[in-house]
Amino acid sequence: MNFSCTTQKQKDDLIVTNSNIYTVNDKLPKAESFAVIDGKFIGVGSSEEIRSAFKSKNILDAGGKTIVPGLIDGHCHFYNLGTGLQKVELRGTRSYKEVLERLEQFQKEKKLGFIQGRGWDQNDWEEKEFPDKGALDKLFPNTPVALTRIDGHAMLVNQATLDLAGIDENTEVEGGEVIKENGRLTGVLIDNAKGMVNRIIPSLSKKQSIQALMDAQDVCLEKGLTTVSDAGLAKEIIDLIDSLQQKDVLKIKIYAMISAHPDNFDHYLKTGPIKTEKLNVRSFKVYADGALGSRGAALKEPYSDREGHFGALVTSTEDLSSIARLLANSEFQMNTHAIGDSANAYVLKTYARELKSRTNRRWRIEHAQVIDPEDFDYFTEIIPSVQPTHATSDMYWAEDRLGPDRIKGAYAYKDLLNINGRIVLGTDFPVEKVDPMLTFYAAVARKDLTGYPDNGFESKNRLSREETLKGMTLWAAYANFEENEKGSIEENKYADFVILDKNMMDVEIEEVPNIEINGTYINGEKVN
- d(CA 470, CA 363) in angstroms, rounded, equals 19
Q: What is the dotted CATH code of the domain comprising 10-64?
A: 2.30.40.10
Q: Are strands 364-367 and 333-338 parallel, antiparallel or unpaired?
A: parallel
Every domain of the chain with CATH number 2.30.40.10 lies at 10-64
DSSP string across 421-454: S--EE---TTSS-S-HHHHHHHHHH---TT--ST
Instruction: Kindly state the percentage of the chain with pLDDT values over 70.
Output: 98
Tell me what the mean pLDDT of segment 231-260 comes to: 98
User: In the predicted model, is pLDDT for residue 145 greater than 60?
Assistant: yes
pLDDT in tens, 454-497: 999 999 999 999 999 999 999 999 999 999 999 999 999 999 99
268-279 pLDDT, tens per residue?
A: 999 999 999 999
Q: Mean of the pLDDT values across residues 208-212?
A: 95
Given a cut of 50, whether residue 37 has pLDDT beyond it is yes
Averaged pLDDT, 400-409: 97
Q: What is the 3-state secondary structure (H, E, C) of 45-75?
A: ECHHHHHHHEECCCEEECCCCEEEECEEEEE
- pLDDT for position 5: 46
Cα 473 from Cα 479, distance rounded (Å):
10
Q: Is the pLDDT of residue 183 over 90?
A: yes
Is the Cα torsion angle 312, 296, 151, 204 positive or negative in sign?
Answer: positive
Q: Which fold has domain 81-198?
A: Diaminopimelate Epimerase; Chain A, domain 1 (3.10.310)
110 pLDDT band, cuts 50/70/90, is confident
**Does residue 3 surpass a pLDDT of 70?**
no
Return mean pLDDT, the chain.
96
Q: Distance between CA atoms of 361 and 481, rounded to whole angstroms?
A: 9
The predicted model gives 86-96 an average pLDDT of 93
pLDDT for 344 beyond 70: yes
CATH numeric code, 73-77+205-522: 3.20.20.140
CA 115 – CA 86 distance, rounded (Å): 10
pTM over 0.75? The answer is: yes
- Could you read off the pLDDT of 407-447 as tens digits, one per residue? 999 999 999 999 999 999 999 999 999 999 999 999 999 99
Q: What is the pLDDT of residues 510-520, one digit of tens each?
A: 999 999 999 99
Whether residue 7 is predicted with pLDDT greater than 50 in this model: the reply is: no
Query: Rounded to an integer, what distance in angstroms lies between the CA atom of residue 293 and that of residue 393?
Result: 10
* Average confidence (pLDDT) over 42-63: 96
Report which of 234, 194, 222 is spatially closest to residue 79, judged by C-alpha positions.
234
Which residue spans of the chain are classified as CATH 3.10.310.70?
81-198
CA distance 362 to 475: 11
Distance CA 283, CA 168 (A): 37
CA distance 358 to 352: 10
Average pLDDT over residues 394-417: 97
Which 8-state DSSP code applies to residue 379? G
CB 294 within 8 A of CB 314: no
Amino acid at 362: R
200/419 Cα distance (integer angstroms): 44
What is the predicted pLDDT for the residue at 85?
Answer: 86
Assess contact for 497 and 70: CB atoms under 8 A: yes
